[in-house]
Chain A
Amino acid sequence: MKALLFLVCLAPLLRLGWRAFHAALGANPVQTVQFQTGLWALNLLLVTLAITPLVKLTGKSALNKYRRMLGVFSYFYALLHFLTYLVLDKFFDFHEIWKDVAKRLWITAGFSCFILLTPLALTSTDGMIRRLGKNWGLLHRLIYPAAILGVVHFLWLVKKDRTAPLEYAAALAVILGARFVLKASDFRR
């Protein structure tokens, strides 16, 4: 099962590689890569967040096993997304990048999301989870602001048609709402 999920998570990258190999990434391949990696970082981030409420709703605690892989893959795509920007968009021009991060709120949001996700990915090993103990859970609450910043990044970057980012915003609201409601009902019990 885990191996299958691994392949599913890898599929978007394989597909990009396949399209690149066949020169089928469209007229602006770099933008296609930028879009696809960003979308999959966000998709997987939302799926990761949806696991806990799904477990509570369905009682299928086996799902918990997959949470870590989903989260790490989300970061993997965020990293590719950032590297695309760093290398192909700005070519290591850190001055330009700093100007972008400081001046353009949508980049600020994407960048902050990426920065928040970094320690989460770094502390996802068994060893780190053990070492951090209770603090691990505290640290990993960073996923909430990160997810919100990811969606805000998407909302602010589109030129005109906000349909897609609004769908993501709605999905995030449902997931966070479900988590909140289920948590509150845990308390009452």
Chain B
Amino acid sequence: MRRAPGDPKASEITPESLWLDRRSFLKAAGLAAAAALSPRLVGAADFAGGEKPTPLDSITAYNNFYEFGTDKESPARYAPKYLKPHPWSVKVEGLVGKPKTWSIEELSKVFPSQERIYRLRCVEAWSAVIPWNGFPLSALLKKAEPKAKAKYVAFQTLYDPKQMPGQNESVLQWPYVEGLRLDEAMHDLTLLATGIYGKPMPAQDGAPIRLVVPWKYGFKSIKSIVSIKLVESQPPTSWNISAPPEYGFYSNVNPEHDHPRWSQSTERRLGELFKRKTLMFNGYSTEVASLYKGMDLDANY
């Protein structure tokens, strides 16, 4: 499933961004500890089985981002207008040896951007293939030096109804919060993404920085993050607070555990007419199944 770097299929997609990535990688490699990066991750790495990515205009026109309205078109309409992704900072706090407030510029300087093509499966049974630009969350967490007591990571979206007018409606509790177990957060597939298709993250997709956890339903991949906090016990998560029987803490893609109101066994890729079968862990079983060994995934949905 994984392809080597510079694989023609993957790199054909965005030659321009690949060049930029290479350049920034070389620069970063000169500056920072290049040893942490395995060279095969440079350039576009395909984690989507060679599938063609969804066109950018679909990725930016069809979004769930309730901070800008509850239908799919509102985020594209309002997010670019209201959200101010610059300046922006992200606090890394809680049970860490080195808490720090990072500016976006600093983050992109210290953590070289990679391009990774992932499948994205929404809990609403649609899906897409997205070429993200970003870096593994684990790199940032390691820098913060999590304490032994830290077992979970809690994330928070910006709370500012002026920038996010949807927060004036009480459809969800604001700010949006999400969480991962520490081992999930440290997994190499878990990204902090700052761009798509080599361009800065569009506002409606969670500018300037968002989480990407490709084996979980899309709502786990929290957008427009302002805080990352290491904590001891399982943090509350927005959709779970809103409807516990429908959205669990784990929310791993699981074709065998249906949403109470619809089947999760199939999904429709944006741009396709018929549905296709949904894969366990969204097709990332090889990489992540071991995280859940011995767990009852039907009970821990």
Chain A residues proximal to chain B, CB less than 8 Å: 26-28, 30-31, 88-89, 91, 96, 99-100, 104, 106, 156-157, 159-161
Contact = CB atoms under 8 A, between A and B. Distances in A.
Given A104-B261, A106-B261, A27 B273 contact: no
Given A28-B72, A104-B261, A160 B171 contact: yes
B124 interface: yes
B274 A88 contact: yes
Contacts of A161: 70-71, 169, 171
Contact of A28 (B62, B66, B261): B62
B151 interface: no
A26 to B, nearest CB: 6
A156 B124 CA distance: 15
A168 to B, nearest CB: 16
B171 A27 contact: no
Given A27-B270, A104-B261, A89 B126 contact: no
Contact of B62 (A26, A30, A96, A106): A26
B29 interface: no
Interface of B: 54, 57-59, 61-62, 66, 70-73, 124, 126, 169, 171-172, 242, 260-263, 268, 270-271, 273-275
Nearest to A163: B70
B73 A26 contact: yes
B70 A160 contact: yes
Given A27-B57, A30-B268, 4 more contacts: A26-B72, A27-B271, A30-B273, A160-B66
A28 B273 contact: no
Contacts of B72: 26-28
Greatest chain B CB density within 10 A among A27, A88, A89 is at A27
Greatest chain B CB density within 10 A among A28, A96, A161 is at A28
